[in-house]
Amino acid sequence: MLLNPVISKLSSKLVVLASASPRRLEILTNAGLRFEVVPSWFKETLDKSLFKTPYEYAVETAKQKALEVAQRMPFKHLKTPDIVIGADTVVTVDGLILEKPTDKQDAYRMLSRLSGKEHSVFTGVAIVICQEKSGSNTEYKVVDFYEETKVKFADLSEEMLWEYINSGEPMDKAGGYGIQALGGMLVEYVQGDFLNVVGFPLNHFCKQLGLLFNSPTENPAHKIKREDLSASDRSWTVFSSLSKCVANGEVEQRETSNGRDANQTSMREQNVMGTECSTRERQDVPHSIMNLIDGFKASKTLFTAAKLKVFDVLNSSDGLTLEEVASQINASVFGTERLLDAAVSLGLLEKQLDSTLPLYRNTEESRRFLVSDSPLSLHGYILHCNDMVWPLFSHLDSAVREGTSQHERAFGKIKKDMFQDVYYSQDDVKMRFMKAMHSIVKVTGKDVAMAFDLSAFETACDIGGCTGAMAYELTDAHPGLLVTVFDLPRVIEMRRHFQPRAHNERVTFVAGDFFKDDLPQADLYILARILHDWSDEKVHVLLNKLSQVCTPGCGLLVSEILLDEERRRPSRALFQALSMTEGKQRSAREYNDLLEKHGFATQEIKYTNNLLDAMLFIKKDSNDKRTLLASSSASIETAELV
């Protein structure tokens, strides 16, 4: 293989793919490359009119994706990558760039343009090489290139167009088609790299890696300097000073033999691209282990800043001095400085140094997700993690030994039932919990609501729908849908605190206990973050009730964090399971098996790359059981492939 000459040189490096594309993941995995997947948060909103050619737009987008991940990982993941790979694929026809369709009509417009014509597929690729320099500077060397492939479509009839669109395949594909699957039936010929059309030009990529690692004189990399962005050693120092501030108010300044602060000595100096580093030397610096050891400090920094409403205070101005922030959060100047600088190192705040006094301000991401009254605020969930989850995890050793929740140790009382315990407590505790649940749905609800075509359903019931956040997202995404939110009376009583300003008559609320009371009639039921909370016995009680109330063709939308089958990839669900609740986290196949026992067949699976994934089940007709079983099995196999 073309990669063989460089695989050995990459094996000791942290290689990251800045893309959630299952097609790119499969292509690179099959080539033998070992890497981690960290999807980029870069918003693909570059002005296409500013680029002379489509490939320049694709290359720049790929570069921005890769750089965003390279700069974020030291702060969000507490580890610095060695190589980050970014890619962006666009389809062009008649001078127009076609990216992913927004809906079925958009897919129809795209495919109609391609019908009977030859078009070009461009993939821009950026390889970012991260090199830590002295001090807190990081240098990024970038190799970028593009590949063009010509594709000719057959003349497509209306019937063929809509049959393909209704298959659902076009919706996450550039240009509205996937050549490696059903879309291949639309194609007359391909001129060039087939894998480029799939999403990644493997041959060209291998050649560029060869130049990078085997031909130094032809090295195509060019430098992009970013200072104070991704030095993990800087974050280490800031977190250390925070803990010392808490302990005794003093920070010990340790000097190395050459006069440098030892805390400022780069932890990864022996892991810079081009530096020969033996296996023994790398084992002497266990970066990933040290990052895990210090990971809790980053979490607590965020929790404390949110609890003190630092982000709210900074949102009211275009920047505040240290003293102004300390005054408004009623904290010491000394402690506030440590907290703010730690938040800056995590990318949660910005620090402006070109004024008389340094000014602190929120980042764009903090304005969107951390200010308490922002539409997508996670403030409620962060406080829930700090006040309820953190104390439980401080007793994790006991939880593992005993295999039980540590609620009594953490809070001094026995927990009988998670939701009854919350909802029969004081109003401020209920409100805090409901805000936490509401904030999660506000961030992920739109992706779940738009995951599937629900036009076949007229009425829906959101079981345990809490504040109605998911119901409102569903009615926004599907104008013909009426949704009933079914939850405990004490939840329904407090829903007014979360209702949107614009009145939505298509969302109604009904009080009841979904274990004890009759469920409202509907032709689609929603279980969002419900099944993982309860014991197998209670889950079967609930699903049995649903099976009895559902007629053949009735839908069931399940939204949870889907585990990978082998439990090898880090997951919020795996860590959440450590709280030792009576519930269970499951993979897509396990949910399929669970619902199969109650007469539901898997219709479709959607990995959203958001906080929750989604599965759509259909109640089977008992007279057609064998056919539906085969359909269910095929759906799961397809989901695993993508």
What are the catalytic residues?
88
The answer to whether 501 touches 494, Cβ cutoff 8 Å, is no
Q: Torsion angle, CA of 250/256/259/261, rounded to 10 degrees? A: -40
CA dist list (Å): 534 to 433, 515, 530, 584, 588:
17, 11, 7, 7, 17
Distances (CA, A) of 460 to 37, 509, 601, 617: 36, 12, 18, 14
Distance CA 313, CA 311 (A): 5
Enter the tokens of residue 273.
């691209």
What is the SS3 assignment for 352?
Answer: strand
Q: For residue 168, list its beta bridge partners.
A: none
- 288 three-class SS: helix
Q: What would the two tokens of residue 170 be? A: 């076009």
Whether the CB-CB separation of 448 and 470 falls below 8 Å is answered with: yes
Residue 207 corresponds to which amino acid?
Answer: K
Q: Where are the alpha helices (DSSP H) in 417-523?
A: 418-423, 427-449, 469-477, 489-493
Alpha helices, H only, 308-426:
310-315, 322-328, 333-345, 364-369, 379-384, 390-393, 396-402, 407-411, 418-423
Say if residues 562 and 588 touch (Cβ distance below 8 Å): yes
Identity of the residue numbered 190? V
DSSP state of 570: -
CA distance 43 to 175: 18
